[in-house]
Chain A
Amino acid sequence: MHLVLFLIFAAFCLAGAINLLLQTHPINSALSLIVVMSSLAVLYLLLGAEFLAAAQIIVYAGAIMVLFTFVVMLLNVGVEEKTHGSKVAKAIGFPAVVVVLGVISTVILQAEKHLGVVNLSDKITTTQELSKVLFTDLLLPFELTSVLILIAILGAVALARKDGGQ
C-alpha cells in the first residue's frame, strides 16, 4: 500500500514539475505547481508529518498559489516569448545542474545502507508534539515570523502602490 501510494504521488510530483517546465503559458505552469504541492502534502502524510501536510495544502497550494494565479491574471501575462536565452546559462548552467544531481545522488546512494526505511505504521508526529517544541524552545523565532510576515505585507503594499511607493 505504502509503495503504491509513494509511486503514484512521486510520479504526480515529477510529472507536475516537468509539465511546469514544458508549458509556455504561466497559468498552466501555476496549475502544475499546485499538483506538485498537493502531492507533496500526501508524501508528508506518508512520512508521518500530519501538521505539515495540512500546512502545505493551506499555505502553499492555497495561499501562495492563489497569489501566483492572481498576479498572472492581474498582469494578463501572455504566452512566454521564445528567445535564444543566455549563453552563460547554457554553457555553465546545464553542466552545473548535472554535477549537482550527480553529487546529491552519489551521496544519497552511498549513505543508503545507513538510512532506515519508512513504514506506513510509523509513529506520526502529532501537532501537539510539534507545538510543544514550537511554543517552548523556539518561541522567539516563532514570534519573529509574525514580524517577518508583517514587514513582508507592508513591503508588498509599498512596492505595488500605483505611484511606486512615493
Chain B
Amino acid sequence: MMDAIPSSWYLILSALLFTLGVIGFLIKRSLITVFMSIELMLNAVNLSFVTFAHEWHQVKGQIFVFFVMMVAAAEAAVGLAIIIAIFRARATLNVDQIDLMKL
C-alpha cells in the first residue's frame, strides 16, 4: 500500500475547492449561501497554506492559517449581522433584489 502521496494532490484538492467556492459565489441566489461560498474559498486557501507549511517544514504557514481563521470568525460575525440588518430592511435574502450597489 502506498504510504506517501505527492504534496501536489493536496494542492489540486485545494484548487478544486476554491473553484467550487467561486462557482457557488456566482450561481447561488441566496445571500447566506453566497456567504458560505466565501467560507469555502477561505478553507481552500487554508489547505494550501498547511500543505506548503508541511512542504518546507515551516511553522509560519500554519500560523497564517490561524490568523485566517480568526479573521474568518470576525468576518462571519459582522457579515451575519449585516445579513440580519438587510433582512430586516428588505425582508428578502435574494441577491437579485439587493442590488443597491449595482451599476
Give chain B residues whose Cβ lies under 8 Å from the Cβ of A121: 3
CB < 8 Å A-B pair total: 238
Contact with B along A129-155 (1 / 0, CB 8 A): 110011000100100010011011101
Asked whether A82 lies within 8 Å of B29 as measured between CB atoms, the reply is yes
Chain B residues touching A, range:
35 or more
Nearest B residue to A150 via CB reads: B74
Asked whether B4 lies within 8 Å of A118 as measured between CB atoms, the reply is yes
Give the one of B37, B67, B70 with max A CB within 10 A: B70
Bound complex: CA A77 to CA B28 (Å): 14
The one of A6, A14, A156 in contact with B9, judged by C-beta atoms closer than 8 angstroms, is A6
Asked whether B43 lies within 8 Å of A40 as measured between CB atoms, the reply is yes
Return A88 CB to nearest CB of chain B, in Å. Answer: 9
Given A68-B36, A133-B59, A160-B85 in contact, is the A108-B5 Cβ separation under 8 Å?
no
Asked whether A52 lies within 8 Å of B17 as measured between CB atoms, the reply is no
Which B residues are within 8 Å of any A CB, using their own CB? Answer: 1-13, 15-24, 26-30, 32-33, 35-37, 39-40, 43, 46-47, 50-51, 53-55, 57, 59-60, 62-63, 65-67, 69-78, 80-85, 87-88, 93-94, 96
Extra pairs beyond A26-B32, A47-B53, A75-B87 (18, CB < 8 Å): A2-B4, A13-B13, A17-B16, A20-B40, A26-B33, A29-B36, A36-B43, A60-B39, A60-B43, A72-B32, A83-B94, A115-B6, A117-B4, A118-B54, A123-B57, A130-B66, A152-B78, A159-B81
Which A residues are within 8 Å of any B CB, using their own CB? Answer: 1-4, 6, 10, 13-14, 17-18, 20-21, 26, 29-30, 33, 36-37, 40, 43-44, 47-49, 51-52, 55-56, 59-60, 63-64, 67-68, 71-72, 74-75, 77, 80-83, 85-86, 89, 93-94, 96-97, 100-101, 104-105, 108-109, 111-112, 115-123, 125, 129-130, 133-134, 138, 141, 145, 148-149, 151-153, 155-160, 164
